[in-house]
Amino acid sequence: MKDLSLVIPLLNEAESLPELHAWIKRVCDNHRLSYEILFIDDGSKDQSWEVISTLRAQNPEVLGIRFQRNYGKSAALHIGFEAAQGKVVITMDADLQDSPDEIPELYRMITEEGFDLVSGWKKKRYDPITKTIPTKLYNWATRRMSGIYLHDFNCGLKAYSNEVIKSIEIFGEMHRYIPVIAHREGFKKIGEKIVEHRSRKYGTTKFGLERFINGPLDLLTIIFISKFGKRPMHIFGTVGASMFFIGLGLTAYLIIMKFMHLNVWNTKAPLVADQAVFYISLTAMIIGTQLFLAGFVGELITRNSATRNQYKIRERLLN
């Protein structure tokens, strides 16, 4: 097994690849690390694949995977993680904004300090204010919702033990939340390192403002699936039953008040249908029933799933 695998997703980065490869090679050779570089071409329209092919022909440590079309960064990382064989896996962007000079220290933190995952923190950024302010808000919200106190969840420069990347699955746009996914899988020692953020030298950014909309939705998905993926009734049943009994309680209140008006106070009782409480109670009971049934159907689906009793085992002591 090699010391290090570098997984580098890319899209239209032909200009930067030769310089990036030479820089990585220089750093790893100087620190006597055995390594492989996996370039994952995510459907580039420029000459990126031709550059990767040329690098591969001249350097055995270079490996390449090319997608038929653009699938996104999460897909590229997932395929790269499947192929990576190093004891430590480091991801970085291909645009030269991540510095390969950070590699030795990230490697040391995993191998010597025992971290499962180390996330980069670009404390000083070379991005416009239209990007830095939303990023700060996004990171603040992620810290609050996940309970993991990292400054920069979306930094592309991260280091992992091989065990981590073989234990997690990322899809959609979940690459922003790999620390959250790893933490939910039981990898608790997650660290952070301040890393250099370089200004872009070639090309243009591939990320738009839509990531600040999709990001929180993806985080909610991760938290929900990790907590209730195998027991949906615990969330739907609890909320549904609570709403149903709230509605039932309000209905009982209406009946009691009707009785009091007619038999105790001897006053004219208001029509039930004229009171807002009637419609609130009716709505709560209907929605509560629907949520309870949704949880029941979810349980039926889960219990008939082929993966219902598949669990990730870290170690065995059986024989």
Condensed to tens digits (0 to 9), the pLDDT of residues 93-132 reads: 998 989 999 999 999 999 999 999 999 998 877 666 666 7
At a CB cut-off of 8 Å and minimum separation 6, what does 12 contact?
44, 45, 46, 48, 203, 206
Q: Residue 308 falls within a domain, yes or no?
A: no
**The pLDDT of residue 205:** 65
Q: Are 90 and 189 members of one domain?
A: yes
Look at strands 88-91 and 117-121 and give their pairing. Answer: unpaired
Between the CA of residue 273 and those of 32, 257, 283, what are the distances in Å?
80, 13, 13
**167-194 per-position pLDDT tens digit:** 988 877 788 889 988 988 889 999 999 9
List the domain range (segments joined by +) for residue 92: 4-227
Q: How far is it, in rounded angstroms, from Cα 250 to Cα 281? A: 6
In a shared domain, residues 148 and 210: yes
Query: Is the domain of 248 the same as that of 176?
Result: no
- Does residue 151 have a pLDDT over 80? yes
Please indicate, yes or no, whether residues 114 and 213 belong to a single structural domain of this protein. Answer: yes
Domain count, the chain: 2
Question: What span, in angstroms and rounded, lies between the C-alpha atoms of 247 and 284?
Answer: 5
Q: Is residue 298 part of a domain?
A: yes
263 and 205 within one domain:
no
pLDDT of residue 217: 72
Mean predicted lDDT score pLDDT of the chain: 86
CA distance 72 to 171: 9
Average pLDDT over residues 221-235: 75
Residues 252 and 198 in one domain: no
Residue 53 lies in a domain: yes
Residue 122 sits in the same domain as residue 142 = yes
Task: Indicate whether 40 pLDDT > 90.
Answer: yes
Q: State residue 218's pLDDT score.
A: 72
Let me know whether 296 and 240 are in one domain.
yes
57 & 190 share domain: yes
Q: In terms of domains, do 51 and 86 share one?
A: yes
Same domain, 151 and 40: yes
Domain boundary among 184, 209, 227: 227
Rg (CA), the chain: 27
CB 37 within 8 A of CB 62: yes
Model confidence band, residue 234 (pLDDT cutoffs 50, 70, 90)? confident
Predicted confidence at residue 212, as pLDDT, reads: 60
Look up the pTM and report it.
Answer: 0.74
